[in-house]
Structure 1
Amino acid sequence: MDIICFPFERVVEINAFILKTEPGMKGAVDIPKLQGALGRIDNAIVYEGLDDVFEIAAKYTACIAVSHALPDANKRTGLAVALEYLSLNDFELTQENDLLADAVRDL
């Protein structure tokens, strides 16, 4: 399996886009905290053998959402990163957005 690791800069770009187009608090990103959240995913892939595309996408959502490294929209950003990760791996979800939002809100 080719490992796709999201650079923290891309996560920051996604978050900035969300905050530009939707309500949310602007502020500084805690880069070390974000890098730590992304590092948990990379470590799970490399050292724990995590190789299921959907589990990796879920881990992106959860790790970004609970890290609170972004000024706002942590859950929305985590979900957007997961969806982009799935797209990069040739998967497109057709679920209703409300179902996905409800699942992420419960994190």
Structure 2
Amino acid sequence: MSLLEISVVPVGTGSASFSSQVAEAVQLIEQKGMKYQVTPTATIIEGSLDELMDMAKEIHKKALGNGTNRVITNISIDDRTDKTLDMKQQVDIVHQSVH
């Protein structure tokens, strides 16, 4: 299992807000039945590397298909092979270290 952080920035839309694009990305993720977590600046998705790359491509293309002429998509992949990796576990480990 891998984690992908994705942030999509539409350019030249005339609005500083892009929450509707985040909502559309979340709908795509939910349609695939993938686990995800929305943060204030990005969305984290859990899945196999192939699933994640396909999802990133779909999200990017969906953003371009909304009449936006330019989209900047940033992704970060956490791919661990020595043990299972999931979002909840990663967050729990940090919280345990703090408390």
Q: Under TM normalisation by the shorter chain, which class is it?
A: 0.3 to 0.5
TM-score w.r.t. the length of structure 2 is: 0.41
More helix by share: 1
TM-score w.r.t. the length of structure 1 is: 0.39
Compare relative contact order (CA 8 Å, sep 6+) and give the higher one, 1 or 2: 2
Structure whose alpha-carbon radius of gyration is higher: 2
More strand by share: 2
